[in-house]
Amino acid sequence: GPVVGDGNGHIQPLERHGIKLMSIGFLLESDKAAVIWRGPMLQGALMQFLKDVHWGTLDYLIVDLPPGTGDVALTLTQNVRASGAVLVTTPQGVALADVYKAASMLQTVKVPILGVVENESYFVCDGCDKRHELFGSGGGQLIADFSSAPLLGQIPVDPAVRESGDSGTPVMRSAPDSSVGKAIKSIAERIADRVSVASVRPLPEPSPNGPGSKNRHLPIAR
């Protein structure tokens, strides 16, 4: 259902499967309506979600950002002291350009890069049980090397993700023992470990070819 106020000037987030959720999409009259907002409106909505949503006590607050280095990402990094960021990419070379830019921006604004996740990494055929790299390989590792951060994991292409999304049930609930379920669980555990480490000591400085280096080179996925 739509989000509602709590009577004290705060927005009450939706909650599903023990996770509190807030999205601009929840405020629209139709799920087919477009969000035609300029930068200042998006920035204002982001800050309202951070300040005016009644989140309560949380273990983690995760913000899913659009690709690149636009107004929303800059507003967040300038106004919130983040524990860190996770970069998500797909393997093919054409997908890496925005992720390189995001890595450089995060280094510039001094947000720790916790690691890199390679999504749609491969597909395992039911008939031959062979791993097929549909979109190439190596993109996630290139971003990890560039960012001086670990490759946290590779998520395979799996119909279970689409099926779970369509039914409104997280794949971690519907198919926790599937290959994609195990991959996501492993990645989540590694991110939690990295956040714990970052809270007590700084993460390693970037390599000479990492973000912020004048001599860095952009590697190309092959």
Q: Where are the beta strands (DSSP E) in the chain?
A: 4-5, 11-12, 14-16, 19-21, 85-89, 113-118, 123-124, 131-132, 151-154
Same domain, 119 and 220: yes
DSSP 8-state secondary structure symbol assigned to residue 26: G
pLDDT the model gives residue 182: 95
CA 83 to chain centre: 13
- CB-CB neighbours of 213 under 10 Å: 14
In whole angstroms, what is the distance from residue 206 CA to residue 148 CA?
5
Same domain, 118 and 219: yes
Same domain, 85 and 19: no
Same domain, 113 and 195: yes
Asked if 107 contacts 207 with a C-beta cutoff of 8 angstroms, the reply is no
User: Is the entire prediction scored with pTM above 0.85?
Assistant: no
Picking from 36, 58, 80, the residue at the C-terminal end of a domain is: 58
Average pLDDT of the segment spanning 102-126: 93
- How far is CA 15 from each of CA 3, 20, 22, 25, 32, rounded to the nearest angstrom? 10, 4, 9, 15, 22
| 188 has a pLDDT exceeding 90 | yes
Same domain, 29 and 90: no
Average pLDDT of the segment spanning 178-201: 90
In whole angstroms, what is the distance from residue 131 CA to residue 129 CA?
7
Average pLDDT of the chain is 86
* Per-residue confidence band for 221, with pLDDT thresholds at 50, 70 and 90: very low
* Per-residue confidence band for 36, with pLDDT thresholds at 50, 70 and 90: confident
Same domain, 136 and 177: yes
Question: At 220, which amino acid appears?
Answer: I
pLDDT the model gives residue 216: 46
Of the listed ranges 33-47, 88-102, 127-141, 190-204, the one predicted with least confidence? 190-204
Same domain, 114 and 222: yes
Tokens 């393997």, located at residue: 91
Same domain, 155 and 120: yes
Among candidate residues 114, 118, 72, the one with its CA nearest the CA of residue 93: 118
Domain that holds residue 26: 1-58
* Per-residue confidence band for 157, with pLDDT thresholds at 50, 70 and 90: very high
62-85: b (≥16 Cβ within 10 Å) or e: eeeeeeebebbbebbbeeeebbbb
Q: Which secondary-structure segment (H or E) carries 96?
A: helix 96-108
For residue 134, the SS3 value is coil
Same domain, 2 and 81: no
Q: Which residue has the higher pLDDT, 200 or 97?
A: 97
pLDDT the model gives residue 218: 44
Same domain, 10 and 39: yes
| 154 has a pLDDT exceeding 90 | yes
Average pLDDT of the segment spanning 91-116: 93
Average pLDDT of the segment spanning 19-34: 86
Picking from 17, 41, 58, the residue at the C-terminal end of a domain is: 58
Same domain, 100 and 207: yes
- Terminal-residue alpha carbon distance, the chain: 45
pLDDT the model gives residue 2: 65
In whole angstroms, what is the distance from residue 118 CA to residue 137 CA?
10
Task: For residue 159, give the CATH number of its domain.
Answer: 3.40.50.300
pLDDT the model gives residue 111: 92
Picking from 58, 74, 104, the residue at the C-terminal end of a domain is: 58
Provide the number of structural domains found in the chain: 2
Same domain, 52 and 93: no
